[in-house]
Amino acid sequence: MFAITGVTGHVGGAAARALREAGEPVREVVRAVADLTDRTALAAAFTGCRGAFVLLPTIPDGDDAAHRAMAGTIAAAVADSRVPHVVMLSSLGADLAEGTGPVRWLHHLENLLRDTGAVVTAIRSPHFQEKVEDLLGAPVYPVFGESADVPVEMVATRDIGAAVAHALTHPPARSEVVDLEAPAYTERQVAEELGELLGEKLEVVLVTRPAWTETLTAAGIPPVLAGELADLYDAADRGLLRPRGDRRHVCVTELRETLREIVSAAR
């Protein structure tokens, strides 16, 4: 039995589907079963499982302390349950303790999990191809950076879920960090492909550094989170989000396939 958190999301859902397709039993950990801030319920959900998949969701209006507290609860539940192997969704840049915005909370969770006694597989992901879902219906394609023409690796969440399922069913002898390797695209390419599928031309608009936080808050993002995202964009611009793990896992889904599914689902 494998316990999967976040099954209503892209990655957790893909991991659960991949496990079931492989004939593996899955325990879905949804809010009705265990909240990620409920140590007792979460530990009960993990107890008796061969492995568990965990992630640290962003709390829209949560500060640094709130995210670190949630990370602490997750790790405590893992320790209490004595689940032998935990796969965690992390991010490139999680090897750094500071200077990466919200990624630093993943750094914190990685380290807490390693202290639980469980074998930990931290899967560090680049940008999600599905990030464009938030832009559907917008007349412009905003790029938070100095250029829209820098290739960046972008991974489909279905591939992340498959990597999670493989890691759970093939646990390593000791804790490891797995960097996901994915196809690279420029933001301009993303805008062009998305516009073609939508049947309209999307204007690429560069949002310069001084306007990052203001632009994000104007879009309805809480100020605390807007500041964290601005720090994340800065870290990306400075090249801090790089693969530094123990090994790489190659993901192959092309962007156009993902965009086609997103556009089709929205119609």
Per-residue pLDDT of 180-195, as tens digits, reads 999 999 999 999 999 9
Q: Which residues of 37-53 are buried (b: 16+ CB within 10 A; e: fewer)?
A: eebebbbbbbeebebbb
Residue 137's pLDDT is: 78
Residue 148 has a CB neighbour count (10 Å cut-off) of: 17
Report the range of poorest mean pLDDT among 31-40, 52-61, 132-141, 148-157.
31-40
Token digits for 137?
Answer: 């219906």
Phi, psi for residue 244 in degrees, rounded to 5:
-140, 25
Does the pLDDT value for residue 33 go beyond 70?
no
Token digits for 248?
Answer: 């790489």
Over residues 226-248, mean pLDDT: 95
Residue 139's pLDDT is: 82
Residue 265's pLDDT is: 87
Over residues 12-32, mean pLDDT: 93
Residue 32's pLDDT is: 66
Does the pLDDT value for residue 34 go beyond 70?
no
Phi, psi for residue 23 in degrees, rounded to 5:
80, 15
Over residues 102-131, mean pLDDT: 97
The pTM of this model reads 0.94
pLDDT level of residue 134 (50, 70, 90 thresholds) = confident
pLDDT level of residue 267 (50, 70, 90 thresholds) = confident
Over residues 50-64, mean pLDDT: 95
Dihedral in degrees, nearest 10, Cα atoms 111, 90, 56, 60: 120
Residue 35's pLDDT is: 84
Residue 95 has a CB neighbour count (10 Å cut-off) of: 21
Over residues 120-135, mean pLDDT: 95
SS (H, E, C) the chain: CEEEECCCCHHHHHHHHHHHHCCCCEEEECCCCCCCCCHHHHHHHHCCCCEEEECCCCCCCCCHHHHHHHHHHHHHHHHHHCCCEEEEEEECCCCCCCCCCCHHHHHHHHHHHHCCCCEEEEEEECEEHHHHHHHCCCCEEEEECCCCCCCEEEECHHHHHHHHHHHHHCCCCCCEEEEEECCEECHHHHHHHHHHHHCCCCEEEEECHHHHHHHHHHCCCCHHHHHHHHHHHHHHHCCCCCCCCCEEEECCCCHHHHHHHHHHHHC
Residue 31's pLDDT is: 76
Percentage of residues in the chain having pLDDT higher than 90: 91
pLDDT level of residue 105 (50, 70, 90 thresholds) = very high
Q: Which residues of 223-242 are buried (b: 16+ CB within 10 A; e: fewer)?
A: ebbbbbbbbbbbbbeeebbe
Residue 136's pLDDT is: 83
Over residues 186-214, mean pLDDT: 94
pLDDT level of residue 148 (50, 70, 90 thresholds) = very high
The correct CATH number of 2-266 out of 3.30.390.10, 3.90.180.10, 3.50.50.60, 3.40.50.720 is: 3.40.50.720
Residue that wins the pLDDT comparison between 135 and 78 = 78
Residue 109's pLDDT is: 98
Does the pLDDT value for residue 160 go beyond 70?
yes
Residue-range domain boundaries for the chain: 2-266
Q: Which of 70, 74, 176, 68 is nearest to 121 (CA)?
A: 176
